[in-house]
Structure 1
Amino acid sequence: MYTKDMLSNQLTDMGFKPSDTVLVHSSMKSIGEVEAGAEGVLDVLIDYFSEGLLIFPTHTWEQMGEKKLIFDPLHEPACVGILPNLFLKREGVSRSLHPTHSVAAIGENSVKYLKDDTHGTPCHRHGCFGKLYDYQAKLLFIGVGMDKNTFLHSVEEWMDIPDRLTDRPVRFKVKLPNGAQQHAATYRHLKGGISDKYVKMTDPFLYTGCMKTGQFGDAHCYVGDAVKMADLTLGFLENDIHVLDDFEPIPVSWYKKTENH
Structure 2
Amino acid sequence: MPNLQETLDLTAYVALGDSFTEGLNDPAADGAFAGWADRLAVLLAADRPPGGFRYANLAVRGRLLDQIVAEQVPQVRRIRPDLVTFCAGGNDILRPGSDPDEVAGRFEAAVAELADSAGTVLICTGFDTRGVPLLKHLRGKIATYNGHLRAIADRHGCQVADLWSLRAVQDRRAWSEDRLHLSPEGHQRVALLAARSLGLRTEQDPEAPWPSVPELSPAEQRRENLQWARGFLLPWVGRRLRGESSGDHVEAKRPELLPL
Q: Of the two structures, which has the highest relative contact order with CA contacts closer than 8 Å and spacing of 6 or more?
A: 2
**Structure with higher helix content:** 2
- Is the TM-score greater than 0.5? no
Shorter-chain TM range is 0.3 to 0.5
**TM-score normalised by length of structure 2:** 0.33
